[in-house]
């Protein structure tokens, strides 16, 4: 249902699990008075192991739930859904939809003299990769980031990092094992694409290990400009709806399709604050 007591908009945020809470974390200070409805489709993850048709069906059913709850805009805080279900979402919803891939790639492009990203219509000459995308295996296999970079005249090297998500969910944010795994991934990527100048964090789990990424790059003697797709997505979403004059703090409600206790426990780590009550819902198979 909508939240008529709020002066700001109602915004739906969707992910197959917990990672999208990093996008919500970045959104909270950007839209005064907003009411956020977050849905984690934890009963049907991982999306990356499903077919495109199944991913689109799951994503659309989750999005329709959020629209029925009164969402005036949908933020798809899920790389797999953004890569494989955006066409179905835009066709099946009557509200604006923002994914994580386009904003992240836009932010990864060269900046003008004022430091702002250039317009999407601009192109840059690049015969060697200039953008290194770290992402899950499913996102890399979709080549969604490479295609979005190509549309902007950029060349990307995509590196699958399948071990990072379970390590983050284990809470090993600054653990020696995580540092070792990350170092291996980065050394392999930099050996394959030594010309990259920008690293794009193409998974919403990865902002939690950004300090470790930055430190590891420095240790490898290859510092890069780091772009956080969660931050870029939040900034892009904040520009979609009209500005409000509200000075109220944002409010949130949370839904999950499985194990609300686990969602509340892990979600607090991703959101950076304790989650209130999480409601269990059933969206079917």
pLDDT tens profile 1-59:
445 455 689 999 999 999 999 999 999 999 889 999 999 999 988 888 889 999 999 99
**pLDDT of res. 53:** 94
Instruction: For residue 252, indicate whether it is catalytic.
Output: no
Model's pTM, two decimal places?
A: 0.89
Of 149, 161, 203, 252, catalytic: 203
Residues placed in the known binding site for substrate: 15-16, 47-48, 79-80, 204-205
**pLDDT of res. 6:** 55
Name the region of 226 (left: φ>0; alpha: ψ -120 to 50; beta: rest).
beta
Looking at domain 102-229, does it have CATH number 3.40.50.1860? yes
**CA 245, CA 71: separation in Å to the nearest integer?**
19
Which residues of the chain carry a pLDDT beneath 70?
1-7, 111-126, 285
Show the DSSP H helices in the chain as ranges. Answer: 21-27, 52-68, 79-84, 86-92, 101-108, 137-142, 144-151, 164-169, 176-192, 210-219, 229-238, 260-271
27 touches 50 (CB < 8 A): no
Contacts of 141 (CB under 8 A, 6+ apart): 160
**CA 258, CA 224: separation in Å to the nearest integer?**
38
How much is the CA Rg of the chain, to the nearest whole Å? 18
Looking at domain 10-96+240-280, does it have CATH number 3.40.50.1860? yes
**pLDDT of res. 217:** 98
**pLDDT of res. 121:** 37
27 touches 236 (CB < 8 A): no
Residues placed in the known binding site: 15-16, 47-48, 79-80, 204-205
Token code pair at residue 248: 């109220």
77 touches 233 (CB < 8 A): yes
**pLDDT of res. 2:** 45
Of 78, 149, 161, 252, catalytic: 78
**CA 254, CA 194: separation in Å to the nearest integer?**
42
Question: Taking the C-alpha atoms of 156, 157, 163 and 164 in order, what is their torsion angle to the nearest 10 degrees?
Answer: -40
Instruction: For residue 203, indicate whether it is catalytic.
Output: yes
Question: Taking the C-alpha atoms of 129, 133, 137 and 139 in order, what is their torsion angle to the nearest 10 degrees?
Answer: -100
Residues of the chain with CATH 3.40.50.1860: 10-96+240-280, 102-229
**pLDDT of res. 124:** 45
> Distances from the Cα of 27 to the Cαs of 36, 71, 122, 213, 232, in angstroms?
9, 15, 27, 23, 10
């Amino acid at each position: 249902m909508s939240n008529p007591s709020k002066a700001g908009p109602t915004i739906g945020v969707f992910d197959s699990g917990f990672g999208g809470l990093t996008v919500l974390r970045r959104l909270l200070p950007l839209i005064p008075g907003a009411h956020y409805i977050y849905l984690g489709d934890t009963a049907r993850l991982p999306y990356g192991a499903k077919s495109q048709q199944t991913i689109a069906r799951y994503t659309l059913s989750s999005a329709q739930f959020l629209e029925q709850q009164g969402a005036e805009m949908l933020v798809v805080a899920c790389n797999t859904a953004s890569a494989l279900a955006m066409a179905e979402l835009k066709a099946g919803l009557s509200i604006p939809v923002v994914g994580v891939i386009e904003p992240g790639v836009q932010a990864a492009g060269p900046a003008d003299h004022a430091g702002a990203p250039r317009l999407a219509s601009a192109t840059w000459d690049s015969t060697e990769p200039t953008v290194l995308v770290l992402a899950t295996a499913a996102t890399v296999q979709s080549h969604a980031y490479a295609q979005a970079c190509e549309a902007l005249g950029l060349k990307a090297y995509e590196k699958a990092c399948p071990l990072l998500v379970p390590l983050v969910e284990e809470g090993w944010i600054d653990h020696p094992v995580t540092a070792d795994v990350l170092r291996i991934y980065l050394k392999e990527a930099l050996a394959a694409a030594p010309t990259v100048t920008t690293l794009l964090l193409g998974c919403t789990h990865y902002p939690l290990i950004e300090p470790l990424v930055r430190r590891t790059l420095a240790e490898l003697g290859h510092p890069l400009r780091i772009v956080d797709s969660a931050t870029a997505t939040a900034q892009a979403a904040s520009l979609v709806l009209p500005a409000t004059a509200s000075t109220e703090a944002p409010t949130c409600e949370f839904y999950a399709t499985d194990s609300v206790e686990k969602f509340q426990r892990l979600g607090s780590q991703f959101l950076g604050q304790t989650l209130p009550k999480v409601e269990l819902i059933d969206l079917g198979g």
